[in-house]
Amino acid sequence: MLSLVHFYGYNIPPFSHVNKFSPLKSKTRAFGIFASNKSHIYLANMEQERDQERSMDISLKDLSKQLEDFAKVRNWEKYHSPRNLLLAMVGEVGELSEIFQWRGEVDKGLPNWEESDKEHLGEELSDVLLYLIRLADSCGIDLGDAAAKKILKNSIKYPEPKTKREFI
Ligand SMILES: Nc1ccn([C@H]2C[C@H](O)[C@@H](COP(=O)(O)OP(=O)(O)OP(=O)(O)O)O2)c(=O)n1
């Protein structure tokens, strides 16, 4: 994947590279690109498919590995202590809150928001998630496992309503 990406001069930001890319599919796509005059259409389709694959298949473990590599190659592991990561995450929660600050109540789906504001929101949500994953890793906590267990615990603490009346 990287060679294909580099060949076309794509500038891939650190967190958008995901390992879930089928070599078979990428070969098929590469052949499509070279075999056709309409290479820009194939390239656009390839980019779109890659976006879909990214959002569908990514797991906490994928993200955790990418974050580990990101810190390792920059020699940032020494800074990624539990306390520093917690503070960084809280800072990002502050940046996330600023997006909602002074807007009043916001409808679900954010129907009246500019696309650029939604993109910004996605970035700040990601920063919080990424630091959270890194924090959990730095504490030796398997976040996926812990979250699944917590959902189970919540369901025992707050059982499903048995009657419609209880549902309210
Ligand atoms: N020591 C660091 C610094 C950054 N990051 C990563 C995790 C976050 O996803 C993102 C945070 O980067 P910035 O501190 O530049 O924060 P923002 O992206 O929010 O930029 P800004 O505060 O300028 O809006 O980069 C990291 O892992 N470790």
Which pLDDT value is given to residue 23?
A: 33
126 Cα nearest atom in ligand 1: 9
How far is the centre of ligand 1, averaged over its atoms, from the C-alpha of 6 (Å)?
A: 24
Predicted local distance difference test score (pLDDT) of residue 48: 72
Distance 52 CA to ligand 1 centre (A): 25
The ranges of the chain with pLDDT < 50 are 1-36
pLDDT at 138: 98
- Please indicate, yes or no, whether the overall pTM of this predicted structure exceeds 0.90: no
- Which residue has the CA at smallest separation from atom 26 of ligand 1? 71
69 Cβ closer than 6 Å to some ligand 1 atom: no
Interhelix angle 115-138/60-73, rounded to 10 degrees, is: 80
> Does ligand 1 lie within 6 Å of residue 137's CB atom?
no
Instruction: Name the residue of 131, 132, 137, 138 whose CB sits within 8 Å of the most ligand 1 atoms, as the mutation to test its pocket.
Output: 131
Quote the ligand 1 centre to 88 CA distance (angstroms).
Answer: 8
CB distance 127 to ligand 1 below 6 Å: yes
pLDDT of amino acid 56: 64
Per domain, the residue ranges of the chain are 2-57, 60-159
pLDDT at residue 166, rounded to an integer: 73
Q: Domain spanning 60-159 has what CATH number?
A: 1.10.287.1080
